[in-house]
Amino acid sequence: MDKVIITRSSEETEKIGIELALSLRDGMVVSLVGELGTGKTTLVKGIGKGLLISYEITSPSYLLAKEYCGQLVLHHLDAYRICSIAELHEVGLDELLPPAEGVTVIEWADRIAGMDEISDISVSIDYLDLESRKVAINTKKRT
């Protein structure tokens, strides 16, 4: 199922994350794709609010992954420096892949070869102008 939403502010992008959180279940993987600064972390902040996480979500960057506890456990991963699932294994982050506990949200998921097949929801964010973004959400049908 595909859904395309235009957002005109970071608040609106957060709201998309809040709504997205409603469809998340234990073990799901969400891929986030979009150029530098499009709003991937902003969307994850919304997911955090939707999952009733009281800590402020910030970019994992050099830490690669952060974990938060809310209605579900949220693993927030930044794959900017990771190229393959094998590399996730090497750095010990393969435990975040299914059947992991909680939800795993991965920024720069397109940098990891094979990630698209694993993810349940793919979100891509594109610049329209300074404050507007096109957010496309693809929810995979699982049989």
Ligand X SMILES: Nc1ncnc2c1ncn2[C@@H]1O[C@H](COP(=O)(O)OP(=O)(O)OP(=O)(O)O)[C@@H](O)[C@H]1O
- Interface residues toward Mg ion, by CB under 5 A: 40-41, 59, 107
CB of 141 to Mg ion, least distance (A): 28
* Region near ligand X per CB under 6 A, out of 7-15, 20-28, 82-90, 113-121: 7-15
* Number of residue whose CB is nearest Mg ion: 41
Name residues contacting ligand X, limited to 112-141 (CB under 6 A). 131-133
Taking the chain, what is the end-to-end CA distance rounded to the nearest angstrom?
14
9 binds ligand X (CB under 6 A): yes
- HEC string of 3-25? EEEEECCHHHHHHHHHHHHCCCC
The only residue of 39, 46, 50, 102 in contact with ligand X, by rule CB under 6 A: 39
- Pairing mode, if any, of strands 103-107 and 29-34? parallel
42 binds ligand X (CB under 6 A): yes
Q: Yes or no: say if 97 and 118 are a contact pair by the CB < 8 Å rule.
A: yes
Q: CA–CA separation, 81 vs 15, rounded Å?
A: 28
